[in-house]
Amino acid sequence: MNAADGRRLRGEARRQKLIAATLTVVERDGVAGVTHRSVAQEACVPASSAIYYFATIDDLLVAALTAAAEEYAAQLEALIASGRDEIDGLAEMIAEASGPGRQRALAERELTLQAARRPALRPIARHWRGLVAQAAGRHSDCPLTIQSVVVAADGICAKALLEDQPISAGEVNRLLRHILQRGRKTT
């Protein structure tokens, strides 16, 4: 490895550290707490590094939401590759968000809602819905049923974050499968 490759690797490691720090700041302080300085401080790097790698706050938020979306995509793809049922896996992922993964899910929900005001976030915010649609599409070819599962999953996620008690994977599974059953063709 030459010096340029080493610098490139260190630069990418620093960039990833800043992205992880952005998610941590959003978890702790909300989107309003994200500044170049707060993210750099969380990442234990000079403030100038945050500005160097991410010129705007939107750049930081897009990178953080992209990282979260990629993580969910990897989880769902791993479930599909393992042969497990996608709806079971999706139900577990949503239930996790109401329990041990609540703070992270809350941060991601806040980032997703920011997409309403920050167009740069919209394509990434839509990614989760696309993943849910893919999972539902393996169980139904009806566009209305698939859309209903997507909307229900989104609503269940919101409900899970608003409730004091965690939602179980079984409950999520029953709700999603109810929609899929009702949407089956009866011809």
pLDDT the model gives residue 80: 72
What domain range is 26 assigned to? Answer: 1-55
Helical packing angle, 86-98 and 169-182, nearest 10°: 140
Do 50 and 91 reside in the same domain of the chain?
A: no
Average pLDDT, the chain: 89
Do 72 and 28 reside in the same domain of the chain?
A: no
User: What gap in Å lies between CA 178 and CA 121, rounded to an integer?
Assistant: 32
pLDDT digits (tens, 9 = 90+) for 17-76: 999 999 999 999 999 999 999 999 999 999 999 999 999 999 998 898 888 888 887 887
Q: What 3-state DSSP class applies to 167?
A: coil
How crowded is residue 140: how many other Cβ atoms within 10 Å of its Cβ?
A: 18
Token couple for 172:
């999520």
**pTM to 2 decimal places:** 0.79
Q: Model confidence at 187, in pLDDT bands (50, 70, 90)?
A: very low
User: What gap in Å lies between CA 154 and CA 124, rounded to an integer?
Assistant: 15
Answer yes or no: are the C-beta atoms of 73 and 131 closer than 8 Å: yes
Do 94 and 170 reside in the same domain of the chain?
A: yes
pLDDT the model gives residue 6: 74
Q: Write the CATH number for 31.
A: 1.10.10
φ and ψ of 168, to 5 deg: -90, 155
Q: Domain count for the chain, please give it.
A: 2
Which of 55, 70, 86 terminates a domain? The answer is 55
Do 95 and 106 reside in the same domain of the chain?
A: yes
pLDDT digits (tens, 9 = 90+) for 136-150: 998 999 999 999 999
Do 24 and 99 reside in the same domain of the chain?
A: no
22: left (phi over 0), alpha (psi -120 to 50) or beta: alpha
